[in-house]
Amino acid sequence: MAIDYQERIPNNVDLSSNRTLQRALEHWQPRFLNWWQEMGPTDFQSADVYLRTAVSVDRMGWASFAAVKMPEYRWGIFLAERDTDRTFGFGDEYGRPVWQQVPGEHRSTLRRLIVTQGDTEPASVEQQRLLGLTAPSLYDLRGLFQVNVEEGRHLWAMVYLLHAYFGRDGREEAEELLCRHSGDDDKPRILRTFNEPISDWLSFFMFTFFTDRDGKYQLMSLAESGFDPLARTCQFMLTEEAHHMFIGHTGLARVTRRTLEVMEELRTDDPEAIRRGGAIDLPTIQRYINFWFSSALDLFGSESSSNAAQYFAAGLKGRPNEAQFEDHLALDQVFNLETPDGSGAITQEEIPLRNAMNEATRRAYVQECQIFLDRWNDQIQQAGGDFRYRLPSPRFRRSIGIWAGVCTDLDGRPISPEAYAARQNDWLPSDLDRSFVHSLMKPVTEPGKMAAWIAPPDRGINNLPVAHEYVRLA
Ligand SMILES: [Fe+2]
Ligand SMILES: [Fe+2]
């Protein structure tokens, strides 16, 4: 059966004249669709969803909007426009022309970087599989599905690279991306955070705020890569990623706004009273922040990393916005780290800057998260509330890096495991918190209506009203 590739798979990689790639995709695409049916959003496959689809890389009009059934979504393959004069922006190859093919000596490293990134994309779809059943509005339901189909497209983007540049082992890795599953005992997803189920919408907004933002920083680092097809692929993915984070930060702002309204109505900030009023009290939201922020920080990797140094040296993975730095070789600079000495004290350590790339990126991430917390705190202050959100210390609750397994308080001061256990329910969502949040998760399916725990968005999607029927249930 002949497939019109330009029509079926929107692309700017000249798919219709690339027989090798077509053959690989012919094999992979049906398997992807099976995976989508089995592991993608449950129950809504025949609903009409108002979705954005990437159809070109034109900045002015790269996407089209229409009501489509998700299995008929056109998952396309797009790379940002090629700059034929592009050179390495950092590392030992600095200033030389970038690679259009994979150099033999970096083949397995590049493949691993692509597979690790690619694995997170379908993983998040699997994690969010059941959320559609409890969406607080049709607007939010559409937001969830938009994120899901675009994470599906990000998987396509990585699979394209594997198929087009890595031959047989690339094709095998592409198959494996559909075989590992989030939370599976035998074949889990590669990174830990992507194996935790997301079963409530507060967690979904936390995930799109904190975890997708880690994704943004990883994509920005890979968008600097000297392997040009990878850089261009990631650059285009960033345009879609921005909307995922928008869903996260506006979602959390709306939850906060609703809580403030209930506080005002009831003239109290007593958490129990707020809960009885049907909203989520601010301290509970703070505990979710503590959980998801610390979990996202692990995704950046160890503070001191010889892998990161090697990626930087070889020009495979750079720093986000590498152009903003003065020194692109980072050879003679050092980076100061605070490390636990094992006896409860903290010592200073100097490491070569190249080894500290994960930590440098993590610090930029923390600053960006803080900007949004400041905004929400303004919102609280304007409403007359005393509470302020804060990010815990990056040392808090870490599982990866020099602080892994070290018990600290929210300020990052080392404490005993007993002291940590005693405060755990003050700092992290308790079983009671989680069951309370779960108790609010009731679907609202009337256009324009919102669940009682979340305020409506300021505006709708693509200039449509908030009350538009964004998902028409079959
Ligand atoms: Fe993604
Ligand atoms: Fe995303």
Q: What is the pLDDT of residue 343?
A: 85
| Segment 320-349, tens digit of pLDDT | 999 999 999 999 999 999 999 888 889 999
* pLDDT class of 25 with cuts at 50, 70, 90: confident
The ligand placed nearest to the CA atom of residue 246 is: 2
Q: What is the pLDDT of residue 75?
A: 92
User: Could you tell me the distance, in angstroms and rounded to a whole number, from the CA of residue 45 to the centre of ligand 1?
Assistant: 21
Contacts of 204 (CB under 8 A, 6+ apart): 128, 131, 144, 198, 251
* pLDDT class of 26 with cuts at 50, 70, 90: confident
The ligand placed nearest to the CA atom of residue 152 is: 1
Q: What is the pLDDT of residue 6?
A: 67
The ligand placed nearest to the CA atom of residue 243 is: 2
Q: What is the pLDDT of residue 3?
A: 59
User: Could you tell me the distance, in angstroms and rounded to a whole number, from the CA of residue 147 to the centre of ligand 2?
Assistant: 6
pTM (predicted TM-score): 0.96
* pLDDT class of 170 with cuts at 50, 70, 90: very high
User: Could you tell me the distance, in angstroms and rounded to a whole number, from the CA of residue 223 to the centre of ligand 1?
Assistant: 13
The ligand placed nearest to the CA atom of residue 158 is: 1
Among 195, 199, 194, smallest CA distance to 144 is for 199
Torsion (CA) 399, 284, 244, 140 in degrees, nearest 10: 140
Q: What is the pLDDT of residue 1?
A: 45
| Segment 189-248, tens digit of pLDDT | 999 889 988 999 999 999 999 999 999 999 999 999 999 999 999 999 999 999 999 999
pLDDT > 90 in the chain, percent: 90
User: Could you tell me the distance, in angstroms and rounded to a whole number, from the CA of residue 116 to the centre of ligand 1?
Assistant: 12
User: Could you tell me the distance, in angstroms and rounded to a whole number, from the CA of residue 337 to the centre of ligand 1?
Assistant: 30
Among 230, 238, 235, smallest CA distance to 213 is for 238
User: Could you tell me the distance, in angstroms and rounded to a whole number, from the CA of residue 407 to the centre of ligand 2?
Assistant: 31
Name the average pLDDT for the chain: 95
User: Could you tell me the distance, in angstroms and rounded to a whole number, from the CA of residue 64 to the centre of ligand 2?
Assistant: 19
User: Could you tell me the distance, in angstroms and rounded to a whole number, from the CA of residue 190 to the centre of ligand 2?
Assistant: 17
Alpha-carbon distances of 443 from 58, 265, 275, 438, rounded to whole Å: 37, 24, 18, 12
User: Could you tell me the distance, in angstroms and rounded to a whole number, from the CA of residue 238 to the centre of ligand 2?
Assistant: 9
